[in-house]
Amino acid sequence: EATLDLAERRRIRSAIRELQRQELERDEETLASKRFRPERSSHRQDDKENWPRSRRLEEEQQAALAALSEQLEAITSVEELTKLLRAAGEYEERKLIRAAIRKLRAEEIEAASLAGNVQSSR
Domain boundaries, the chain: 6-34+61-120
pLDDT of 52? 73
| Pairwise CA distance, residues 55 & 42, whole Å | 15
**pLDDT, tens digit only, all 122 positions of the chain:** 566 788 888 999 999 999 999 999 998 888 877 766 555 555 555 556 666 777 888 888 888 888 888 888 888 888 998 998 898 888 888 888 899 999 999 988 888 888 888 777 76
The pLDDT of residue 49 is: 64
Residues 72/81, Cβ–Cβ less than 8 Å: yes
Residue 90 Ramachandran class (φ > 0 left, ψ -120 to 50 alpha, else beta): beta
Q: How far is the C-alpha of 27 from the C-alpha of 30, rounded, in Å?
A: 5
Region of 20 on the Ramachandran plot (φ > 0 left; ψ -120 to 50 alpha; else beta):
alpha
Note the pLDDT of residue 37.
56
Q: What integer pLDDT is reported at residue 41 of this predicted model?
A: 54
Q: What is the pTM of this model?
A: 0.50
